[in-house]
Every structure is written in structure tokens, then in C-alpha cells.
Amino acid sequence: MALDRSDVEKIAHLARLGLAETDVQPTTATLNNILGLIDQMQAVDTDGVEPLAHPLEATQRLRADVVTESNQREAYQAIAPAVEDGLYLVPKVIE
């Protein structure tokens, strides 16, 4: 699918891009090159190719799931302006 000048102007208008007259021709050529590359990639036979989550099939090293910090809830709530039943009280924002 090749784009012409009017197609590029419509695309620029829809994208709210200000495209100068001198930029219309190079932009048309660039977009046509991109669409040509997409056509080439779609033409490649990918039957039997397994999709990859990562090109190197690397696995992540995971750290042990252990607690590293102690519970400091009481200390944090002791310095809070207003607390009730273990909850922070804040001013009402929405009426």
C-alpha cells in the first residue's frame, strides 16, 4: 500500500501535526518505506516458529521471599497527627 500526498496530509491533520510544504515529500517517502518494511516482515513464513518472551530465553534470578524489615506500625502511628483503630485519619476531601 503506497501513500500519496493527500494521504500524508490527512494523516498529519489527524495527528494534529503541522507539516510544512517542504516536508510533505520526504515524509511521504519515509512512510512508504516504513509500510514497505512492514509488508516484507508480514511476508516472512513464521509457521512452526515458537513465540519468545525474551530473545535469549534467559531466566531471572529471584531472591528468597523472606521478611527483611520489622513491623514498625506503632512507631509510625505514634508520630501521626490522628489515628483511630490502627488507621490514619485524614481530612475529608470529597463531599
Domains, the chain, in order of start with CATH, read 5-42 (1.10.20.60)
pLDDT digits (tens, 9 = 90+) for 37-63: 999 999 999 999 888 777 777 777 898
pLDDT digits (tens, 9 = 90+) for 76-89: 999 999 999 999 99
pLDDT digits (tens, 9 = 90+) for 12-28: 999 999 999 999 999 99
Amino acid at 76: Y
* CA separation, residue 91 to residues 9, 25, 41, 76, 80 (Å): 52, 59, 57, 19, 13
d(CA 53, CA 32): 30
